[in-house]
Amino acid sequence: MSCIMCVQSTLTAPLTPGEARRMRAMQLSRITGVPTKPAGSKVLLERSVNRLDITIPPKGIFSADALMTGGFAIAWNAFVAVWTVGAITSGKWSGTQTLIR
Give the angle 91-92-93 at the CA atoms, nearest 5°. 100
The whole-number pLDDT of residue 75 equals 98
pTM of the model: 0.40
pLDDT tens for the chain, residues 1 to 101: 455 555 555 556 677 888 888 777 777 666 555 666 777 888 888 888 888 888 888 877 888 888 999 999 999 999 999 999 988 888 776 555 555 65
Q: How far apart are CA 35 and CA 28, in angstroms?
A: 11
Contact 11, 3 (CB under 8 A): no
Strand, helix or coil for residue 20: helix
The whole-number pLDDT of residue 95 equals 57
